Amino acid sequence: FSTASAPLPGDLEEGDGNPHCLCPETTSRVRFKRISSLEVIRASLYCPSPQLIATLKNGLKICVDPKATLYKKIIKKIFES
C-alpha cells in the first residue's frame, strides 16, 4: 500500500500549498483617476483566467474584471501619462 502522495502537477514543488485564483469577485466600476498601480497576473494551471488587481489612491486593493475593456484603456493611459 503506497503512502506516497499523488505526483505534484506542472511546476508545483513540495511546500507550495494549493495555489488558486486570488480574486473571488471582480468589478468593472473603477475609474482610471483612482488607480495608483495595476497588477496583471497571468493565467496558470491553478487559475485558468488572467487576474487584474488594482491598488487605489487610498491604498486599498480591488480585483478588476479582466474582460472589461476598461483595463485596456487604463493600461494604455498609464503608459502614455
Task: Give which of 68, 19, 27, 71 is closest to 48, Cα–Cα.
Answer: 19
1 versus 31: smaller Cβ distance to a copy of itself: 31
Distance of CA 54 to the CA centre of its chain: 9
What element of type H or E holds 78? helix 70-80
Which x/- pattern over 16-55 shows residues binding a copy of itself (rule: CB under 8 A)?
xxxxxxxxxx-xxxxx-xxxxxxxxxxxx-x---x--x-x
* 8 near a copy of itself (CB under 8 A): no
1 versus 9: smaller Cβ distance to a copy of itself: 9
Distance of CA 14 to the CA centre of its chain: 23
Q: What is the residue whose three cell numbers read 471582480?
A: 26
1 versus 76: smaller Cβ distance to a copy of itself: 76
C-alpha cell at 4: 506516497
Residue ranges binding a copy of itself (CB under 8 A): 11-25, 27-31, 33-44, 46, 50, 53, 55-64, 66, 71-72, 75-76, 78-79, 81
